[in-house]
Structures are given as C-alpha cells and as structure tokens.
Structure 1
Amino acid sequence: MPASFQEILNSSVIKFVVGEGADGEATDFLVHKEAMAQLSEPFRDMLNGESTAESVTWRNVGKSSFERLAQFAYTGDYTVPKPLRRRGAVDRQEAVENEASPDILDRGLAVEEDSAPAPGDTPAEDEPPMPVVEYSEYVEQDSPGWWPAAKPAPRVPSPDQYISKKKAKRMERFASRIAQEELQPEPVPEPISPIPVLFELDDPRDKHKDDCEPSKQFDPKGNYSNVFRSHAELWIIASSYGIDSLMALSLYKLRQTLIVFRINDQTVSDLVDLVHYVYNPHMESLEDERQRGLVAQYMACNSATLSSDGNFMALLREGGSFVEDFLKIVMKRF
C-alpha cells in the first residue's frame, strides 16, 4: 500500500547526487525518503542500506530523468518532454511541399477558362423574364370555334355550415391542447442548498495532467530522440529496482509516441538513437526484455520503409542483439 501524503511529508529527507556521468556535471536533489521508498521493496532496501550515508550517488542517471522519477514518486505520473527543434531539412521540405505543382495550376486555369462566358452569351440577369402563362379562359364548345367560358360563381357556405365548421376547429384545438398537457410531465423543482455557492471550480484539480499525456499529433519539425530516451531511461530505472507501475507507464508512453511517429529521411536517426540506447551492451543484465521487444517489433513492422535509409542499413551492419531480434520478427512474416 502506498504511503499517505502525511507519511511522506513527515519522513526524513535524503540527498541524491545524479548526472555526473550522464550530463557531465553532478546535481543534488533533496527528496522525502518515504516518497522514494514506497516505489518498491528493492528501492526501500537500497535506501535502508544507504541510511548511514549522507547521500545516494547515481552517476549514470541524468538530471531530467531523476526529476521525472521524483515526480512519479510524489504524484504517480511524470511530464512528457517536448521534441527538440529540428532545423534545416524539415523547413526546406515543407517549402517544397507548399509550392503549387504545375498540375494544380493547369487545373485552376482550366476552371477559370470554363467559367468565362462565351462571346455570344448574355448574363442570366440580363435575359428577359419568361412570360407568365395564364390558364386559358376558353373551353371547347359543341358548336364550331372557341368560346369564352363563364367563370363559376364561388360557393358560399350556409350560416349553419359555417358555424359547425368553426365549432369543430375550436373543439379540435382544445382537445389537442389537453392531450399535450397530459403528455408533458410536471417540472421537478431544483433542490435548494442551504450552503451558497461562493465560487466556481474553474481550475483543474490536476494542473499537470495535460503535460503528462503523450501528444497525439506528430511534430514534423521536432527531434524525438529526447522524447524516446526519456521513456526508455525511466523504464530501465524501474526495471532495475522492480518498480512495476513505472515500468508499465513508461512502456505505455513510449508505445503511444511510436504510434504517432512518422518515418522520413530526417526522422530515421531518431529511431537509430533509440535502438542504440535500448540495446546498449551495459543493459544486457536486465532480465525483462519487453522494452527491447517493443522497439524491435516497431522497427520490423516498418522495415520496408527503413530499408531505403543509409543510417538504418549501417545499424544492421553493426550486428548485435538488435539485429538478432529484428531478423527473428521479420522472418516470421514470410
């Protein structure tokens, strides 16, 4: 059972020194010991083993990764970073894509030519109005020729017929109104609260919820290497200390990011960086292969597109565990 907020707040603080190997400089963080210890039993055992020391040193854990780990420890979720700005190639590509092609220009010219009036045409508003056709007042008689027909006199209802029709319509409207009133339920009065509403709850209760959700839109100008690595590094930390909830969350966010990711000449390098990090030889000691399996599966599903990229082919020539996992998945498809 996770610790309550009061238990976390009243626990002692412990210092983590992180990032000297990953970032080139060390950063100190003071966090509540119970917030970190509640993550898993192996993590609690590690902190208890460091109880006599003044701090815990993680050289190969980056500053940003530890910040997300601490955020997860306190809140149960972590912020997803934004893709870094990719310069140059994407801007040029978008400029080419936004140019109008000759085919589009030809179609536009053809539409304009078709819409232009011919020399002999006259606008619709200048045409004379069509003559109004009157019904003929002439009927064919028995005698030769056409003769004007006498217009029949309008029928005038008798006083008794007029009163009976008027009364019938009035009774019909009355019956219809009674039926509608019977069908409509009586309005239920709103309950009156003895406590007045002093303010509206406009602000969200979780102010960082949107920042924690992976984006559902692909940013063509973004470099996703940092986004991929943020999820992958958290998964490795969670796997090392048996933090199952963080393993599931980080793997889910990595998968959601890969779903919206689009492969082109500029973005293949982001995937190559992800493979290099996940299949780092230093990670061979991890028993859980789910993250590697996800990455290998994604690369195999997109092998037809990736095969035309030089960076990906160079990755295959490196060999190693990734190539083995990749080929196993690809060969099963044949």
Structure 2
Amino acid sequence: MSTPRAGGPASGASHYDFEESLSSKPFLFVVGEERKEFHIQKEFIAQLSPVLNALVNGRMKEATESRVEWPDLDVDTFVRFAQFAYSRDYTEAQPEILTPPPPNPQEVNQQSSPSSGTQVIDLTDQTDGNSSNDDEDDNLDDGPDDDGDEGEEEEEEEEEEEEEDGSTSMEYESDELESEEEEEEETYNQEGVANPNANHDTTVVQRTTCCLDLRDLPFSIHNYLERWKMYITTRFISEFSEPNSPPAKRRRVLNSITGETGDWRDSSSANLKYHAMYRFAKLDIPHVPESWQPGVNTSAYHSYAPVFQSHARLYALAEKYGIESLKGLTLHCLHLRLLHFTIYPQRVDDAVELVPVIYGSTVEGDPARRVVMLFFCCVAEHVKESPEFRAVVRSVGEFADDLVREMTLRLL
C-alpha cells in the first residue's frame, strides 16, 4: 500500500532540474550487515537535506570516494529512503498474516465427549419412588384401608395448595420482571440516551448504537471517538425532547452537557478518556497534500508490527540526517495508522515495539515521541497487563516519565 505523496517526483523543481539530477554521478551506498550495494544519483540525495548534501558533495572522505557505508540500517528501510529520494513517496510494509494457534486438546475433548451432554439423574428421587411403591404393595397386601377416603381428600387438598402456590409464584415472577423492566427503563432514561416515549425497537437501536460499549478491546481510537460523539449527540437530543420542558431546565441541561464554553467536548459529562483520544486525534502533524486513509485491520491474526516499524525506522533515518519533508510524511502516516488501528489484545505488542525505536532515535520534545506516548495514554488501562508493555515501561525510562505526566490529565 502506497503512502500519500508529499509532492511530485520533482516537487519544487523544474523538469530541467530533475533531468540534471538524473544525469548526475551515482553515489554508492553499502547497506546493512549483508553489505548490499545501491547506486543512487548523488543530486537526488543532496536535495533531501544540508547534511546529506555535505555527505555527497562536501570535502569528507565519503564525498571524495562517492561511497558510504550504513551498516546499522536495514535494507527495506533504505529502499523506502531511495523511493522517497526519487518520488517523494514510499511504500509501507504489509501486515504479517499469522496462523491461529491450534485448539487446546482438552477443550476439544470436552466439547466432543458424549459425557458432556449426558443427562444427570437424581438417584434420590428414584429411591423415594421405589420406597413409595413398596409401601403401596404393603398396603395391598394388608387389604382395603378404612382411611382411603381421608387419603383422597388429603391429596385433593395438596393439589389445591400446589395450584395456589404455583399461581402465587407466577404472580411474584411477573411482578419481579415488571419491576426489573421499570428499573431498566428508569436507568436508561436517567442516562438521557433515548426518549422515554420512543418506540421499543427504536430504543433498542439507540441503546445499541449510542451507549458506549467500548470498555474492552478491541476498538480503534477513531471508532471510540465516533461512538462518543454519537452518544453525546443523542443524549443532547433526548434531553430536549421532553415536552413542556421549562426554560430553566433546558438551560440547566444545556450547561451540564456542553459546559461553560458551549463546546460539548469540554463537557463535564464527557469522560477524560475521550479527552485523551481527542488530543491524540488532533495532534499537530505536518500536513500532507494528498489525502490518504489507511485500511482497517479486522483480525487478531494480522500483525501490523511490520507496518508500524516501516514508518518508525524511516522516521529515525530522517531524524538522523535532518530530512524534514520525510519526517513529516512518515509521522503523518504513523499517526493515521495508530488512529485507525483496531487494538486486539493479541496485537498490543505491534504498537509496543514502536517505543524503543522512536525513543531510541529522537530527543526530548520530538513530535514522534508524543504520538507514541499519547496513543498508549489513551489505552493504558487496556494494555497494563501486557508483558511487552510492562517490559518497555521498565526499560525505557523517558517513555515512562512522559506517560505518567500525561496520564495525570486523566485523573483531574
């Protein structure tokens, strides 16, 4: 999948400049531990940043020999770097399709075992039944019972009592169900999600779509924001749908929903988790002329670690050599990827792997650090038990410090 372009192949330059760059002398890059060689016209490299211009056209040994070694850079990242040098664009990595683990043999045996569906028989009832039969046999042997009429009357009285008890229990269950329904409706109305006079089917739809049911993974930050907006909007409408509502109450409801600023995002009813996600979505990221929307992952067995790493490593290279245009493009793509990334519990590690790459290649205050840190601030309560997340918090102290300071905003 191609990322958005930051410009055309000869952005900011004439056709002559591109032709001149294409005809310039090649510069040799020896990349990675395998020492793979790449030849790129030096003028395409020189245009990227003053640092690279000095590397290929300066008085250093590398410029004199037209050769440089980058042993710490992987080949895939260099290929994306070369793509950007020629076209101001690059291709991100593809997600890795994982094989689901085989089912637990014990669970399979339990599901397929005939005993799992065997009916349990109460032997106590059978014993009682046999003893009663024995008593009847004894009675037959003893001959006619003078108290037989009294026994029949007792049985009829017991049946009448059972019928009365049954009707009483049914009435009790009915009353209990009605009280539960009334309590459910009352709670639902207090939440302000739906109109109390609304149709039952409509109410169910509104409850399903408007009440946030995103307390557990998986969800994406973008999806959470959209659901929260829908919830607030529906609540606002339902609060004002009450007929003959006094103006004082309307003002009170309006203030409670929108807050003093008149912006529903500043509402006291809006949770602080939403505020963190809103800050993440509205981060000041360099603008990219062409729009690009990343695809949405729909399976827990699609690893997006290679996708994230392709952006992060290229950002680290751009930071090292001062390539501002490439930094802006990679940061834009990484931010969008994280914004739309469906966070499955099994895929938490995909994003965790970003932390050492970004924090290990940038300095304090770098915007890429804030992108990664704020992402985890939004979902900290969902990933806190992840062994990978806990390990990176212990090992990358600057990340832990940034995360704690940002998390305090969710406690205020």
State the TM bucket, normalised to the shorter chain: 0.5 to 0.7
In the alignment, the residues of structure 2 paired with residue 219 and residue 80 of structure 1 have an alpha-carbon distance, to the nearest angstrom, of 18
**Deviation readout 1:267-291 (Å, 9 max, x if unpaired):** 01112211122223xx35x466111
2:32 is aligned with what amino acid?
G
In the alignment, the residues of structure 2 paired with residue 287 and residue 309 of structure 1 have an alpha-carbon distance, to the nearest angstrom, of 26
Q: Which residue of 1 aligns with 2:295?
A: 216
SS of aligned partner of 1:29: strand
Instruction: Give the TM-score of the pair, scaled to structure 2.
Output: 0.47
Instruction: Give the TM-score of the pair, scaled to structure 1.
Output: 0.58
How many angstroms does 1:214 deviate by? 5.8
How many angstroms does 1:213 deviate by? 5.0
In the alignment, the residues of structure 1 paired with residue 44 and residue 70 of structure 2 have an alpha-carbon distance, to the nearest angstrom, of 17
In the alignment, the residues of structure 2 paired with residue 9 and residue 270 of structure 1 have an alpha-carbon distance, to the nearest angstrom, of 38
SS of aligned partner of 1:87: coil
> Residues 331 and 368 of structure 2 are in contact (CA less than 8 Å); yes or no, is this contact kept in structure 1?
yes
1:47 aligns with 2:47: no
> Residues 80 and 213 of structure 1 are in contact (CA less than 8 Å); yes or no, is this contact kept in structure 2?
no
Give percent identity, aligned residues only: 34
Match among 354, 359, 367 for residue 290 of structure 1: 367
Unaligned runs of 5+ in 1: 93-211
1:59 aligns with 2:71: yes
In the alignment, the residues of structure 2 paired with residue 297 and residue 246 of structure 1 have an alpha-carbon distance, to the nearest angstrom, of 22
Match among 312, 315, 318 for residue 232 of structure 1: 312
In the alignment, the residues of structure 2 paired with residue 232 and residue 277 of structure 1 have an alpha-carbon distance, to the nearest angstrom, of 7
In the alignment, the residues of structure 1 paired with residue 347 and residue 379 of structure 2 have an alpha-carbon distance, to the nearest angstrom, of 13
How many angstroms does 1:51 deviate by? 1.9
**Closer/same/farther in 2, CA of residues 83 and 322 from structure 1, 3 Å limit:** same
How many angstroms does 1:75 deviate by? 0.6
How many angstroms does 1:231 deviate by? 0.6
Moved more, 41-50 or 27-36: 41-50
1:300 aligns with 2:377: yes
1:251 is aligned with what amino acid?
L
2:338 is aligned with what amino acid?
L
SS of aligned partner of 2:65: coil
**Closer/same/farther in 2, CA of residues 318 and 9 from structure 1, 3 Å limit:** closer
1:7 is aligned with what amino acid?
E
Q: Which residue of 1 aligns with 2:86?
A: 74
> Residues 239 and 288 of structure 1 are in contact (CA less than 8 Å); yes or no, is this contact kept in structure 2?
no
Unaligned runs of 5+ in 2: 1-11, 104-290
1:10 aligns with 2:19: no
How many angstroms does 1:78 deviate by? 0.5
Q: Which residue of 1 aligns with 2:324?
A: 244
SS of aligned partner of 1:11: coil
1:16 is aligned with what amino acid?
F
How many angstroms does 1:301 deviate by? 0.8
Q: Which residue of 2 aligns with 1:326?
A: 403
Q: Which residue of 1 aligns with 2:43?
A: 34
In the alignment, the residues of structure 2 paired with residue 319 and residue 43 of structure 1 have an alpha-carbon distance, to the nearest angstrom, of 30
> What is the correspondence of 1:69-218 to structure 2 with a 5 Å cutoff?
69-89=81-101, 215-218=294-297
Q: Which residue of 1 aligns with 2:339?
A: 259
In the alignment, the residues of structure 1 paired with residue 69 and residue 394 of structure 2 have an alpha-carbon distance, to the nearest angstrom, of 37
Aligned residues: 209
SS of aligned partner of 1:51: helix
How many angstroms does 1:2 deviate by? 4.3
**Closer/same/farther in 2, CA of residues 319 and 242 from structure 1, 3 Å limit:** closer
How many angstroms does 1:38 deviate by? 0.6
RMSD of Structure 2 on Structure 1 (CA): 2.4
How many angstroms does 1:312 deviate by? 1.9
In the alignment, the residues of structure 2 paired with residue 287 and residue 299 of structure 1 have an alpha-carbon distance, to the nearest angstrom, of 17
How many angstroms does 1:216 deviate by? 2.3
How many angstroms does 1:215 deviate by? 2.7
How many angstroms does 1:303 deviate by? 0.8
In the alignment, the residues of structure 1 paired with residue 366 and residue 100 of structure 2 have an alpha-carbon distance, to the nearest angstrom, of 37
In the alignment, the residues of structure 2 paired with residue 33 and residue 305 of structure 1 have an alpha-carbon distance, to the nearest angstrom, of 48
Which structure has the larger Rg? 1
How many angstroms does 1:44 deviate by? 0.3
**Closer/same/farther in 2, CA of residues 5 and 288 from structure 1, 3 Å limit:** farther
In the alignment, the residues of structure 1 paired with residue 53 and residue 21 of structure 2 have an alpha-carbon distance, to the nearest angstrom, of 13
